[in-house]
Structure 1
Amino acid sequence: MPHPTVTADAIDALLPQTQCTRCGYPDCRSYAEAIAEGRAGIDQCPPGGAEGIARLAALTGQPERPLNPAHGIEGERRLAIIDEDWCIGCTLCIKACPVDCIVGAPKQMHSVIDALCTGCELCVPVCPVDCISLASATPGRTGWQAWSEEQAGQARERHAFHRLRLVRDKQENDERLAAKAERKLANLPAETRLTDPAQIDRKRAIIEAALQRARQQRSGG
């Protein structure tokens, strides 16, 4: 059931902000909204663990219950480590990191900023050469004992910036593609350049359709 007196903001404030997606949602905010709307349980966040469930239970008035094993188990927070000898600089891990804690350039070795890594593990499956491993960052400490309010707040801010950066990068890339297409039209020889408005509109429609296909391929659609 929805929780009309509990806002997604209040729920989101209690989540660890690791952005690991193990709850079944693309980020912590989406999970918070699902809980507020009664579409998700309070037992789906492994990084928050038992203490996280207790916090959510107190806020929502729901009874405490064990972590749903379908979403994983509570464990020590882990740190991603990139093997410099094997990294090929493909940048796939940089794109996968929800808090932009991996730095590097195409065809250059990448590295993880340890203090910013949330242990989400999303960089591991995308690496084509399996050069990313995980090590415990909090031996003997799990859930909120392995994390802090300050770290959660920082991760929330970095994830918000990450999302804005993706939108900005996509917009800039689309603008470059459109400008390139316009230059090609402008550079056509005079004898082949279209002058009929209907033909020009048709040409631009074809270009826009090609751009749309490119956008869908980049987004996985």
Structure 2
Amino acid sequence: MTLFGVAVVLAALPFSVDAVTVTAWVAEDGVIEQTSVAVWLCAALYLLWRSRSPRGAAVAFAVVFLTLAVREAGLPPELVPSGKQLLSWRYYLNGDIDLLRRLITGGLMLAVLVSFGACTRAGWRYLLREQGWRHADGQLLVMSAATLVLAQGGEAVVERLLHAAAAGEASPRGLLVALSLEEGLECLGSVYALAAIKAASSWMGVDHPTRVFPVRISRPAVAH
């Protein structure tokens, strides 16, 4: 219900706020994008802070969160190539790129892929084997993943609309709606992830469980 409500608000933004303001909000350096970066960084730092003796799962999730923060930061391609380039063998076989740069980039990319695999394995095991989907942290994790998947779909729509707009075949307001949904859902996904690790316990590498709801303490029976 929360996801649907946020989506409705995001879609309505271009119709209730002037185009200049909405464009500034959804830009690569806009407030929504920068909020996503801040939340992902907070999630990574909070996870490492809560895990006093960092475990594999905690480090893996932190690496993934930091990667998402870098992705959302919109750094220049000269500094950080696009994900499509980094996942292609052509980038690493390109002799025009410095060998040391390719080696460092390849090592970092391998670390990210291993971390993503570890996160997927830990999350899958917790949600299914331990029935984590019944608990708040599992539900929030599922919501985060689902929201980010929807945002990726929105990104594909935005790319098509940008090409159509360049040819004069797309409505500027329709493009703003798509951009608002994409950036807003990415930000919401990061918030869900932060809430998930705030509620998580040992399965994510957090040493001390953080309870979402207060624990009811029963009084000891008094002998008469």
TM-score between both structures, scaled by the size of structure 1: 0.25
Which one has the bigger helix percentage?
A: 2
TM-score between both structures, scaled by the size of structure 2: 0.25
Which one has the bigger strand percentage?
A: 1
- Give the number of the structure with larger relative contact order, counting CA–CA contacts within 8 Å between residues 6 or more apart: 2
